[in-house]
Amino acid sequence: MINYLYQEQNWQSQLSDLITDPAELLDLLQLSQDEFLEGAKLAAEQFKLRVPRAFVGKMKAGDPFDPLLLQVLPHHLETEDHEGFVTDPLGEEQANQQPGVLHKYKSRFLLTLTGACAVHCRYCFRRHFPYQENLPKNEDWLNIQQYIQSQPDINEVILSGGDPLTLNNRKIKLWIERLESLPQLKFLRIHSRVPIVIPNRVDEELISILKNSRLRVILVVHSNHALELDDFTCHQLSKLVKAQITVLNQAVLLKGVNDSADVLVKLSSRLFDAGVMPYYLHVLDKVKGAHHFDRLPQDIDEIYKEVLANLPGYLVPKLVREIAGEKNKTPLFGVSTF
């Protein structure tokens, strides 16, 4: 384990000091540049390396198969083409009604306020998403407001990514206040990986903003492995839970990272230690560049069967796939054709 005193560092300075150079990451983890650097540089040309030092601090030095490292280190396999793996696997460009608005489901829609993430997850289904053309500006709020009002079924807004918690508290508050002004909205969901990769992002001001909102706030974090959840991270997450904010976790099933029942059982148990409920276990979206994280449906079925046998029902995340154009996520267990 590499020892960083990240717990004492302000989250914004951590966010502005990300590791973006594969050579630096390999150096810090005492891994061979000869073996990994060329492939990493090649893959990083398509999707840059970005990883906070706090997250690297949870990795094991000298281990090229560290499950946290595999999620962030660009790999030459990303540059291969594979049939069925495409740049927009969920058809989001068609669901993009206007800048920042992705309306795929009846009662809820996604608002993407930023294209920035604290970490670049190599398997991300939005790794090719044209964020720059889709970010709402301040003056777009009126159009967004009109859009929501024209869709009376919408009662929930999901702030999604990029990662909304890379925005500062002032901006988060501003957008929440805007959404609160619309009586039809009841729920606000925030999808974020920042509390896992920079746990200090959970500061008192953020907790207070979320806690005091008129909207019922649900924070959905994204952790794939129990090693991401060290004591400090769990402590930060539990502060949100104590403030009565619902905190759920979604994970992605990734070859080499968490594709065993044992690892998934440990993840659920560790989440529960922090008061976080396992929510979804996503099958990999077939995005170009992520083929090497994929597992066969029958293998996934086997793994999930074992998870079911080893956890109480309330700790079992729902195994799902998102299918472009469908009105909800598709549950998968026992479905041989996924």
Binding site, by residue number, is 117, 121, 124
Our CB check for ligand SF4 shows the closer of 110 and 117 to be: 117
CB 151 to ligand SF4: min, Å: 24
Among 58, 75, 189, 193, contact with ligand SF4 (rule: CB under 6 A): 193
Q: How far is the CB of 120 from ligand SF4 (least distance, A)?
A: 5
Min dist CB 123 to ligand SF4, Å, is 7
> Between residues 159 and 316, which has the closer beta carbon with respect to ligand SF4?
159
Give the footprint of ligand SF4 on residues 138-157 (CB under 6 A): none
The length of the chain, given as a count of residues: 338
With CB under 6 A as the contact rule, the residue among 26, 113, 117, 271 that binds ligand SF4 is 117
Q: Give CA–CA dist 101/179, Å, rounded.
A: 13
Q: Does 124 bind ligand SF4 (CB under 6 A)?
A: yes
The nearest distance, CB 268 to ligand SF4, in angstroms, is 19
Closest CA to 41 of 85, 82, 78: 78
ω into 115 cis (within 30 of 0): no
Name the residue nearer to ligand SF4 (CB basis): 127 or 239.
Answer: 127
Helix (H), strand (E) at residue 148? helix 141-149
Supply the DSSP symbol for 86.
B
- For the annotated binding site for [4Fe-4S] cluster, the residues are 117, 121, 124
Q: Does 283 bind ligand SF4 (CB under 6 A)?
A: no
- Which residues 6+ apart lie within 8 Å of 249 measured at CB? 220, 221, 222, 223, 267, 271, 276, 277, 278, 279, 317
- Partners of 277 in beta bridges: 248
User: Which pair of tokens denotes residue 334?
Assistant: 């026992």
Tell me how far apart the alpha carbons of residues 131 and 102 are, in angstroms, rounded to a whole number.
Answer: 12
The site that binds ligand SF4 (CB under 6 A) totals a number of residues, namely: 10
Q: Any contact of residue 173 with ligand SF4 (CB under 6 A)?
A: no
Q: Is 108 helix (H, G, I), strand (E, B) or coil?
A: strand
Q: Which stretch binds ligand SF4 (CB under 6 A): 112-120, 256-264, 271-279, 307-315?
A: 112-120
Contact 51, 19 (CB under 8 A): yes
Task: Work out whether 119 is an interface residue with ligand SF4 (CB under 6 A).
Answer: yes
Q: Check residue 201 for interaction with ligand SF4 (CB under 6 A).
A: no
* C-alpha–C-alpha distance, residues 57 and 61, integer Å: 9
> Which one among 126, 189, 288, 321 touches ligand SF4, defined by CB under 6 A?
126
Q: Which stretch binds ligand SF4 (CB under 6 A): 80-88, 91-99, 118-126, 201-209?
A: 118-126
Residue 43 in contact with ligand SF4, rule: CB under 6 A? no
Q: Which amino acid would we find at residue 176?
A: I
State which H helix or E strand residue 209 sits in: helix 204-211
The residue within the footprint of ligand SF4, chosen from 72, 102, 113, 121 (CB under 6 A), is 121
Task: Take residue 66 and report the two structure tokens written for it.
Answer: 């560290």
Q: Decide if 325 contacts 288 (C-beta within 8 A).
A: no
Which one, 172 or 261, has the nearer CB to ligand SF4? 172
Sites of contact with ligand SF4 (CB under 6 A): 117, 119-121, 124, 126, 161, 163, 193, 222
